[in-house]
């Protein structure tokens, strides 16, 4: 029987893809060919979250760097700075829609810029949050903002004040609250309104309800300094604003075709497998939230249906895994930002700000539970016997024990439970023998210990034909 490879499409929350492998709080890292190992992946635990502070109990929905510190925005509209320390400071409040709280923040050299629910703001440590009063100066009620080449782009307006839902306004350079009335352009390719904007590399993308465009800086100092690229538009819109996330110039979002899209620079592509697409066909997309983070040379997109599930995409491999915080079915993270030499801070729906840490096995809610479920072993036509299950790990006996069992009915019931100690580093250890005959089955490994980083190097099943 071959080495078990936990690759492929991982099982969805409704278990529609029966027989597929499933990883929970564990990711698959591809091996290099020169390692000369039988398994083509190493299974590595997701990082833990070390608590830094908790400015408020209101969910943290946005993090942003500006003016030499990290700022947080919360679902009740409160804004804090210095959240990378254990002594954050309150800066002020912005208007939010309590039914669907979204706050966009961006970094200008002179201030943090903020778009709430129909209002634009700037913020500094000394001056606090200040309303830019665009409703009275340019008849504009923005809900989104980004910064490119020292100009602040405000957009996402309604048509309540004036017919401006398709407009993009640009500020004077290094003066985000100074927006001349003639310094605007219209999203041109389609007639849909702009609902969000985000910067990627030296471009910014206006997201509409039915299309996405890519704009660049023309160098023109008169009126609006940006223009769209020719023939770079995508005929898919942004289905839910809280699914839009970016890191290192890469962008992920759930499109109006109910697929997960990945984009950068001037192009984008739907990248979700069939089981994710089927899953997204069955949910209210406005209940989804997402964020991105980077670690170990890879970028990750975490998509959550609050209170039900969280799935994570590794952009380098396009493999999906599951995230769960202790004591709940979903992951508590809601936003993230890099700051201070590559340290990643994650905002939780409990209001806490945490530091991403591979050497930590816990989150504020408790110890992370790691689960590895293999794909089907065997087939429906022929019976087989698993003579022995073996695994290797560099963790060694200090890691404690791993729990093992197996299922032959699509993860409904489990048999053969046992608890086995980790082997010495580099040693292949048998953890189960003579599992009996079956047509096909899935093996499950679970670890709830505190040793981190968690890793299982290889898993083997040695079998023979059965009667």
State the DSSP string of 219-268: ---SS--EEEPTT--BS--BS-GGG-EEETTEEEEEBTTSSEEEEETTEE
Contact 172, 180 (CB under 8 A): yes
Q: For residues 93-122, give the mean pLDDT.
A: 98
pLDDT tens for 240-265 read: 999 999 999 999 999 999 999 999 98
Per the model's pLDDT, the better-predicted residue between 211 and 22 turns out to be 211
Q: Which range in 21-35, 217-231, 291-305 is most confidently predicted, on average pLDDT?
A: 291-305
Q: What is the DSSP letter of 406?
A: E
Reduced to 3 states, what is the DSSP secondary structure of residue 444?
Answer: strand
Domains of the chain and any CATH numbers: 22-46+370-465 (2.60.120), 67-307 (2.130.10.10)
Cα gap 271→193, rounded to integer Å: 25
| 147 bridge partner residues | 152
Q: Is the pLDDT of residue 13 over 70?
A: no
Q: For residues 212-232, give the mean pLDDT.
A: 90
Closest CA to 229 of 178, 263, 193: 263
Q: For residues 5-30, give the mean pLDDT.
A: 67
Stretch among 8-22, 152-166, 196-210, 407-421 having the lowest mean pLDDT: 8-22
pLDDT band at 100 (very low <50, low <70, confident <90, very high): very high
Cα gap 27→65, rounded to integer Å: 28
pLDDT of 319 reads: 87
Query: Would you mind telling me the total number of residues written for the chain in this entry?
Result: 467
Closest CA to 313 of 279, 272, 275, 341: 272
Per the model's pLDDT, the better-predicted residue between 368 and 12 turns out to be 368
Tell me what percent of the residues of the chain surpass a pLDDT of 90. 72
pLDDT tens for 352-396 read: 999 999 999 999 999 999 999 988 887 777 887 788 888 889 999
Closest CA to 144 of 108, 173, 120, 175: 120
pLDDT tens for 181-207 read: 999 999 988 889 999 999 999 999 999
Q: Is the peptide bond before 453 cis (omega within 30 degrees of 0)?
A: yes
pLDDT of 7 reads: 44
340: left (phi over 0), alpha (psi -120 to 50) or beta: left
Residues in CB range of 246: below 8 A, 6 or more apart: 198, 199, 200, 252, 292
End-to-end CA distance of the chain: 16
pLDDT of 286 reads: 96
Closest CA to 62 of 53, 70, 51: 70
Cα gap 127→286, rounded to integer Å: 34
Closest CA to 134 of 99, 98, 164: 164
- Outline where 108-257 has alpha helix (H): 134-137
């Amino acid at each position: 029987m071959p080495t078990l490879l936990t690759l492929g499409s991982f099982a969805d929350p409704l278990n529609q893809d029966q027989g597929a492998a499933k990883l929970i709080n564990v990711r698959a890292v591809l091996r290099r060919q020169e390692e000369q190992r039988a398994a083509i992946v190493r299974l590595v635990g997701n990082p833990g979250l070390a608590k830094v502070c908790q400015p408020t109990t209101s969910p943290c929905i946005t993090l942003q760097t500006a003016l030499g510190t990290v700022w947080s925005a919360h679902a009740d509209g409160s804004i804090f700075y210095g959240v990378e320390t254990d002594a954050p400071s309150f800066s002020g409040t912005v208007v939010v829609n309590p039914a669907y709280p979204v706050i966009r923040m961006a970094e200008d050299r002179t201030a943090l810029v903020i778009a709430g629910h129909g209002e634009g703001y700037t913020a500094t440590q000394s001056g606090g949050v200040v309303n830019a009063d665009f409703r009275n100066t340019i008849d504009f009620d923005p809900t989104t903002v980004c910064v490119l080449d020292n100009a602040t782009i405000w957009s996402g307006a309604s048509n309540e004040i004036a017919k401006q839902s398709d407009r993009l306004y640009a500020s004077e350079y290094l003066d985000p609250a100074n927006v001349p009335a003639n310094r605007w352009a219209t999203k041109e390719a389609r007639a849909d309104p702009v609902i969000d904007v985000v910067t990627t590399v030296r471009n910014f993308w206006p997201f509409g309800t039915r299309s996405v465009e890519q704009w660049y800086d023309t160098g023109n100092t008169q009126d609006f300094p940006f223009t769209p690229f020719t023939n770079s538009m995508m005929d898919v819109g942004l289905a839910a604003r809280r699914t839009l996330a970016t890191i290192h110039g890469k962008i992920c979002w759930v499109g109006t075709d109910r697929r997960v899209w990945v984009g950068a620079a001037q192009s984008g592509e739907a990248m979700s497998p069939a089981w994710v697409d089927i899953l997204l066909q069955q949910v209210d997309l406005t209940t989804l939230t997402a964020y991105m983070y980077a670690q170990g040379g890879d970028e990750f997109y975490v998509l959550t249906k609050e209170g039900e599930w969280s799935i994570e995409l590794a952009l380098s491999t396009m493999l999906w895994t599951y995230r769960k915080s202790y004591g709940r079915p979903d992951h508590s993270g809601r936003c993230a930002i890099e700051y201070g030499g590559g340290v990643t801070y994650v905002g939780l729906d409990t209001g806490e700000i945490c530091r991403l840490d591979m050497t930590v096995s816990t989150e504020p809610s408790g110890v992370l539970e790691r689960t590895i479920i293999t794909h089907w072993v065997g087939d429906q036509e022929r019976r087989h016997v698993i003579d022995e299950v073996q695994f290797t790990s560099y963790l060694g006996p200090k890691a404690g024990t791993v729990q093992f069992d197996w299922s032959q009915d699509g993860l409904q019931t489990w048999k053969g439970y046992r608890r086995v100690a980790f082997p010495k580093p580099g040693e292949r250890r048998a953890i189960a023998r003579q599992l009996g005959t079956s047509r096909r089955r899935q093996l499950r490994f679970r670890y709830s210990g505190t040793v981190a980083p968690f890793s299982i190097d290889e898993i083997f099943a040695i079998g023979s034909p059965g009667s």
